[in-house]
Structure 1
Amino acid sequence: MKTMLTRGALAAALATTVAATATFAAESKPDPRLVVVISVDQFSANLYAQHRPEFVGGLKTLSQGIVYPNGYQSHAFTETCPGHSTLLTGKHPNKTGISANDWYDRATGKTVYCLADPTVTLADDPKGRAVSPANMVATTYGDWLKAVSPTSRVFGVSGKDRGAITMSGHRADGQFWYQPGFGFTTWVAPGQSPQERLKPVAGFNARLAADLKAHPFTWDYAKASAKRCKALEADYETGGRQWRAALPIPAATSAADKQRDLYASPYTDQVTLELAQRLRETYGLGDGPQVDLLTISLSATDFIGHRYGTRGPEMCDQIARLDDRLGVFLKSLDKVKGGVLVVLAADHGGADFAERLAGEGYGFERVIGKPWIAKLNAQLRADLGLGWDPLVADGGIDQIYVVGPDRKTPSITDRARVTAAALALINKDPAVAEAFDSNAVFTLAPAPADASPEELSVAERVRRSAYPGRVGDILIAFKPNRVPATAGATYVSTHGSPWDYDRRVPILFWWKGATPHERVLPLDTVDIAPTVAGATGVKPPADIDGVCRPLAYGQAC
């Protein structure tokens, strides 16, 4: 009897294996005429796993394709601009030139935004902070596509300029981001007019303004998930402020605060997806013989994570609404005449705010930046006999710049002695895991090409972030339970560390007819661009860091 059961079990196992092999063998590769790449800002792998059983809309659909639950942004400084720059360039930030959201320019003594470009203007405000792709020294999949298929169309939309621009690249037909009080805007090069540049979104902006005036957005619990999300309500104290995590949030009284609250709500993702659908339909993306690209960066998860944390009722409602709106958007892609490949990933992850984590026993504490750098400067002035503060950390205390008396470029001697003295002090700080001299980081051998992103040393992660001339002189990895962020009235949580809660993100590939397949080993975000290129017959540059991963089981790229 025992022998009979063993043989039966073996036969069943063989039959299952043969069936599975046959299923995978029959699976076809995607053959898209439209590639849609979606980034959900601050959508950590932890957040995806926490809410995955609750998905009923677009996130459920996308989770029925090729799922990498352990994707990685494998660099150290996990911020929005550098993270987005990896998604479709196939390169780490040390090759995209986008080492942080901001860096300090010692030639001018000023902080520089990652996409700042004084040669252009904004369509909505000629005096506003002008941006363009110029600072990104790498090309994107959209640029590669345009090089071999000039008739291909490339559009990028986002709630943030850095989400729209870094994903769609240097040759996009349109890059639009949401500006509260105006609608979707873009940048204007010399010789162009704002009206010309805004033409693709002018009608949409007009409708948006009229709709918002007639039906003001009020953020309360979505009906379907209200009970589940409302159960997470609780009282907290952060930065000396007592507040209740609950919806609806207290009503703003000023016009500026109303715009701020609208921006940091699910409304931003809603209108971003609506514009993406409008552009798809207006320009017939995916309807012609060529391959088109639509990039979408959804910013609300990040806004809400920063303001309310990642595991309260606010984020619960946001993820439910995101799932719903993505479902509506994916349904609209049924009209596309050609095949569609959809990719979803994130620019970085994010942990919850320190006080809630500490209450759960994790021992998280904040490192308050201004007094921390002030104390370090005072010690260096005393130890080295300096008459000025030699360190600047305007973009955050994880990247510190050594400056001279005029807050500009120091002498070689001053740079060397200040850096050495500062590192000796910083590495004794119990809040610090490791600190590095960026000049030493540049000389490190890169991690092996086949190194798993989850096994990289901290130094190797830092090296992937370090771009010469932009990254700081002193690069710091605070310990995982030490958060270099100050809580304020509209800011409680952050990201940017080299630790897995900030690096791990889901990476999903979906197309109609895809066989659901969970791939549990890590995938780097720099692999996305060459994988999409392989699926569309586009050759990427030879110097990219990523590699193509076959989407169809058992078949080559």
Structure 2
Amino acid sequence: MSKLTSPFGPRTALSALAGVALFASAPAQAADQVKPDPKLVVVISIDQFSANLFEQWRGQWKGGLGKLGREGVVYPNGYQSHGMTETCPGHSSLLTGSYPNRTGIVGNNWYDATTGKKSYCLLDESVTLAAPSEQDPVSPRNLMVPTYGEWLKAVSPKSRVYGVSGKDRGAITMAGHDPDGAFWYQAGFGFTTYVKPGEDAAAKLAPVAALNARLAAEQKKKPFVWTYENKACAALEKTWTTGERTWDAKLPRPLPANQAETLRDLSASPYTDAVTLEAAAALRDEFGLGDGPQVDVLTVSLSATDFIGHRYGTRGPEMCDHLSRLDARLDTFLSRIGKAKGEVLVVLSADHGGSDFPERLHDEGYDISRIATSAWLKGLNQQLRADLALDYDPLVAPGGIDTLVIVGADKKAPAAVERARIASAALALVRSRGEVAEAYEINDLLTTPPVAKGTSPDTISVKERLRRSAYPGRSGDILVAFKPNLVPATASSTYVATHGTPWDYDRRVPILFWWKNAQARERILPIETVDIAPTIAAVTGVPIPKAIDGRCRPLGAGHDC
């Protein structure tokens, strides 16, 4: 049996798998599960935390991640059930109980055919940002459904809802409309938020002002440098060539050349999650979340795993050290929020999964490769120009080549007859390409009846997955599913791995529920991220809206929600 290279010591491949299997199959305690009765609900999303990543490192965690996995109700086979598995739509599903075709958040970006411009998922030009930024102004306006926090406030007006993240789309989509606060980390400033007309920026930032000042002082005195905290991770070091770049997977990273690179490197490091957890704990302490008679909500979206996964891949020394650090930081975080006077329910999942970069997987014997995105789109447009006698490119791809938008010469929506002519030719051309598994025109998806509610997410068709990512005016004209293990992303100096496909390596995520004195249970059958909100609602006595896609899942034995 060949040896596995492990930063935690040599093990055979068989023993590595057996260790996880024995751990996962440990019998649940015989005592009946006592349902939680929380006064504080903490929902944590680890961005790009695939089920594969969870299982790969699960047996090594001794801190907070380990505690949740050992002591909680664990669903290792959770699913983001839509097709376009990106950060914004994935987060929109976590606390709404709804798929993106209902939340309206179908991608990180979409194309506004009325203006001929690309639009960010949370763009709202009626608001401003509390801190100076080159980013677009954002708010929850584009989120078309309420979140659990809003369900809760409807029956418990004194409940508080706060959200914090390393990304605006992680904080806003989980906290929902009109929370008590939604904050995200902006490297070089600290935590920021959005400001509606008539609101005062300083007042909106007041809950995080002291933390921001402290973080700035600490960075000025001793800037964060990412070196190994877990030195065993150095065993995974190797030199790689991705695209036209050759680089060393190792820590510390080369020194940045300028301030922009310094801030970018800081974001794509464990520092982002460390300060996000600190902000979340500080909000709990400052506002006494969980101390009163009402139920409070704290949402925490940890973005560093996604930043690191995109930049360095998911199975190298960088991710190894990051997850080791996160395990330790979550342990401290759980201790701090555990000081709440009421019971605390912690839920952990992810907005989507992800895969390692193709070159490393190919080196390990997998048949996996990249699709050169610009060349692929250019080829489609050249063929359509010739076939349809056009003097312009009729297709644009605002967020990736899996979503194609039909435009006229002015880059806006063409007349209906012309759109239909281009759509017919483009769809046939896309479907003829050998690298494409399936492709659908948007109106076909919008008029396709949904499968029965409760259909297992691992059995639904690719078309159904894409249907759940289809929203009028936001989803483009042709949605494409490339064949598995064909990665529609070109490698760059800061981007080597990605996600976004309808395949299981991007859809499967863990879903964990933990509270003090919970009986550890392993639930192996698939559930969906849209089941999280109704499950929380059931244990907190909040009415579950009928017009959602998810179902309550019992945290105890049997079927009682």
Shorter-normalised TM-score: what interval? over 0.9
> Structure 1, unaligned stretches of length 5 or more?
1-19
Q: Shift in Å at residue 359 of structure 1?
A: 1.4
* In 2, Cα distance between equivalents of 1:457 and 1:24: 39
Match of 2:520 among 501, 516, 541: 516
Counterpart in the other structure of 2:67: 61
Q: Is the 8 A contact 1:264 1:300 kept in 2?
A: yes
1:226 aligns with 2:256: no
Q: Shift in Å at residue 253 of structure 1?
A: 2.2
Paired residue type of 1:226 = K
Counterpart in the other structure of 2:356: 352
Q: Shift in Å at residue 540 of structure 1?
A: 2.1
**Aligned positions of 1:156-555 closer than 5 A:** 156-222=163-229, 225-227=230-232, 229-554=233-558
Q: Is the 8 A contact 2:111 2:117 kept in 1?
A: yes
1:293-332, Cα deviation, whole Å (9 max, x unpaired): 0000000000000000000000000110110100000011
1:37 aligns with 2:43: yes
Paired residue type of 1:43 = F
Q: Shift in Å at residue 212 of structure 1?
A: 1.1
The alignment partner of 1:275 has SS state of helix
* In 1, Cα distance between equivalents of 2:210 and 2:337: 21
Q: Is the 8 A contact 1:146 1:171 kept in 2?
A: no
Q: Shift in Å at residue 333 of structure 1?
A: 2.1
**Aligned positions of 1:141-156 closer than 5 A:** 141-156=148-163
1:20-42, Cα deviation, whole Å (9 max, x unpaired): 899343x2100000000000000
Q: Shift in Å at residue 279 of structure 1?
A: 0.3
Counterpart in the other structure of 2:86: 79
Paired residue type of 1:40 = I
**Aligned positions of 1:124-135 closer than 5 A:** 124-125=131-132, 128-135=135-142
1:46 aligns with 2:18: no
The alignment partner of 2:345 has SS state of strand
Q: Is the 8 A contact 1:80 1:162 kept in 2?
A: yes
Larger radius of gyration between Structure 1 and Structure 2:
1
1:32-66, Cα deviation, whole Å (9 max, x unpaired): 00000000000000000000010000011111210
* In 2, Cα distance between equivalents of 1:127 and 1:78: 26
Aligned residues: 534
Q: Is the 8 A contact 1:142 1:171 kept in 2?
A: no
Q: Shift in Å at residue 490 of structure 1?
A: 0.6
Counterpart in the other structure of 1:139: 146
Counterpart in the other structure of 2:6: none
Q: Shift in Å at residue 357 of structure 1?
A: 1.2
Q: Is the 8 A contact 2:28 2:522 kept in 1?
A: no
* In 1, Cα distance between equivalents of 2:147 and 2:185: 22
* In 2, Cα distance between equivalents of 1:555 and 1:425: 48
Paired residue type of 2:434 = P
* In 1, Cα distance between equivalents of 2:387 and 2:222: 62
Counterpart in the other structure of 1:115: 122
1:47-90, Cα deviation, whole Å (9 max, x unpaired): 00000010000011111210000000010000000000000000
* In 2, Cα distance between equivalents of 1:125 and 1:110: 23
Q: Shift in Å at residue 415 of structure 1?
A: 1.2
Instruction: Give me the TM-score of the superposition, normalised by structure 1.
Output: 0.95
The alignment partner of 1:491 has SS state of coil
The alignment partner of 2:509 has SS state of strand
Q: Shift in Å at residue 508 of structure 1?
A: 0.2
* In 2, Cα distance between equivalents of 1:204 and 1:246: 31
Q: Shift in Å at residue 363 of structure 1?
A: 1.7
* In 1, Cα distance between equivalents of 2:30 and 2:289: 31
Q: Shift in Å at residue 412 of structure 1?
A: 1.1
Q: Is the 8 A contact 1:272 1:298 kept in 2?
A: yes
* In 2, Cα distance between equivalents of 1:356 and 1:289: 52
Q: Is the 8 A contact 1:121 1:128 kept in 2?
A: no
1:477-521, Cα deviation, whole Å (9 max, x unpaired): 001111110111111000000000000000000001100000000
Q: Is the 8 A contact 1:78 1:498 kept in 2?
A: yes
Counterpart in the other structure of 2:24: none
The alignment partner of 1:33 has SS state of strand
* In 1, Cα distance between equivalents of 2:29 and 2:524: 21
* In 2, Cα distance between equivalents of 1:357 and 1:448: 36
- Structure 1 320/425 Cα, relative in aligned 2: closer, same or farther at 3 Å? same
* In 2, Cα distance between equivalents of 1:105 and 1:86: 23
* In 1, Cα distance between equivalents of 2:235 and 2:436: 36
Q: Percent identity?
A: 62
Q: Shift in Å at residue 394 of structure 1?
A: 2.3
* In 2, Cα distance between equivalents of 1:412 and 1:129: 31
Paired residue type of 1:32 = P
Q: Is the 8 A contact 1:24 1:554 kept in 2?
A: no
> Structure 2, unaligned stretches of length 5 or more?
1-26
* In 2, Cα distance between equivalents of 1:371 and 1:444: 32
Q: Shift in Å at residue 129 of structure 1?
A: 1.1
Q: Is the 8 A contact 1:350 1:501 kept in 2?
A: yes
Output the aligned Cα RMSD. 1.1
* In 2, Cα distance between equivalents of 1:359 and 1:432: 24
* In 2, Cα distance between equivalents of 1:206 and 1:291: 30
* In 2, Cα distance between equivalents of 1:51 and 1:77: 26
Q: Is the 8 A contact 2:96 2:147 kept in 1?
A: yes
Worse-superposed segment, 121-130 or 257-266:
121-130
